[in-house]
Amino acid sequence: MDPRTGLPVVGMVGAGQLARMTHQAAIALGQSLRVLAASPDDGAALVAADVVVGDYRSLDDLRAFASGCYVVTFDHEHVPGPHLKALAADGVLVRPDAAALIHAQDKAVMRARLTELGIPCPAWGDLSETDLVTFGAAVGWPLVLKAARGGYDGKGVWVVSSPEQAAPIIASGTALIGEARVPIARELAAVVARSPYGQAAAWPVVETVQRDGICVEVLAPAPGLPPARVNEAQALALRIAGELGVVGVLAVELFETTSGELLVNELAMRPHNSGHWTIEGARTSQFEQHLRAVLDYPLGTTTPTAPAVVMANVLAGPDDVKPASVDERVHHCMARWPDVKIHLYGKGFRKGRKVGHVTALGSDMAEVRERASAAADYLANGEGA
């Protein structure tokens, strides 16, 4: 309890853009997010009042951070499970808890559990148990290798055509799972939230547009997705949230196959890039909802605020091509698109880095998408439409 406000204190481990945007939402709720930052220059550390600098891999640092928090939550899934259990044993409320979070930390555990629940996934095998040649013979080549832990934004994922091509990856000693390569029409995400009380809420299902394994755009709602598929995706995400005991936001990344089937790709148990559009595009943003959930407050309405919403990531381009300053880029972007909402994460613009996002709203998806994409491109590259 913060004696100045009479409200419980929420601590978030990690101080990147997710914590930064969660802090924005926290302010409205009378809160001030406490963050555990790796560096005082982290995006959230630049804007929050209650910053602890420390290492999320150190139990001592986590304990010092958790002291005084009503609940501890996360802007990433990298805190070691034993540390989470130790905190819980200390009496710290950890949400989501270690038993839920392991499914966002370890793809082998996640796949095993989802398979047990009968939730559709690509055919898969745990390569610490199953021989690659046997697995390849069963699902066909090429197939996909994934690091069981630590991958993100296309890192830790390899498409391999033969055991020979896989050999150096296997030799590196990384724990791997194998997955059948499925014929993907597009990628979707079903984002939901669940509270300890058991209340749950789903946002509209979105399409996530990927380039080189990195999400570049999110279209809300997913264009042309039949209502039955929307319901299926939301029901699937809500079921996973309930079965795994998730508290907070759960993002379920999905493949829509060329035959229209939905398969689970990955899980994230925190605000997620596929939900950034909700800041302006839904009555309750994923950041506010995550706070409501971890505080066990009633969840907010997830109704969209416009028929078509597009979020486009700002992935910094090479700075030497157009050396416009960030300030100039913002200036010109605002002049050209006075209704596009800009979100910058307080990061230096280094090539390929996700430094912000923009959101456009309207009634025609194609028009809205063009506007968001052009604005993001302009911010990223200092040039554009």
User: H or E element: which one contains 33?
Assistant: none
Q: Is 4 in the site for a copy of itself (CB under 8 A)?
A: yes
Backbone conformation region of residue 352, classed left if phi is above 0, alpha if psi is from -120 to 50, else beta: left
Token pair 């986590």 in the structure block, residue: 62
Closest CB 119 distance from a copy of itself, rounded Å: 28
- Whole-number Å distance between alpha carbons of 375 and 114: 39
Q: Is 339 in the site for a copy of itself (CB under 8 A)?
A: yes
Closest CB 9 distance from a copy of itself, rounded Å: 11
Interacting positions 308-337 with a copy of itself (CB under 8 A): 325-327, 330-331, 334-335
Q: Is 343 in the site for a copy of itself (CB under 8 A)?
A: yes
Residue 267 to residues 9, 151, 270, 272, 343, Cα–Cα distance (Å): 27, 12, 9, 10, 24
Task: Output the CA angle 104-151-346, nearest 5 degrees.
Answer: 95
- Beta-bridged to residue 37, according to DSSP, are 53
Q: Is 363 in the site for a copy of itself (CB under 8 A)?
A: no
Cβ proximity to a copy of itself: between 113 and 336 the closer is: 336
User: H or E element: which one contains 138?
Assistant: helix 132-139
Q: Is 235 in the site for a copy of itself (CB under 8 A)?
A: no
- Collect all residues with Cβ–Cβ distance below 8 Å to 119 and sequence separation of at least 6: 236, 239, 240, 264
Number of residues that bind a copy of itself (CB under 8 A): 53
- Whole-number Å distance between alpha carbons of 213 and 177: 18
Interacting positions 265-304 with a copy of itself (CB under 8 A): 283-284, 292, 297-301, 303
Residues in the chain: 385
Options 8, 80, 163, 242; binder of a copy of itself; rule CB under 8 A = 8
Pairing of strands 10-13, 34-37: parallel
Cβ proximity to a copy of itself: between 60 and 328 the closer is: 328
Interacting positions 50-109 with a copy of itself (CB under 8 A): 51
Closest CB 52 distance from a copy of itself, rounded Å: 13
> Using CB under 8 A, which of the segments 163-171, 209-217, 345-353, 363-371 binds a copy of itself?
345-353
- Whole-number Å distance between alpha carbons of 209 and 215: 6
Options 48, 62, 119, 252; binder of a copy of itself; rule CB under 8 A = 48
Interaction site with a copy of itself (CB under 8 A): 4-8, 20-21, 23-24, 26-30, 32, 41, 45-49, 51, 283-284, 292, 297-301, 303, 305-306, 325-327, 330-331, 334-335, 338-339, 341-349, 356, 361
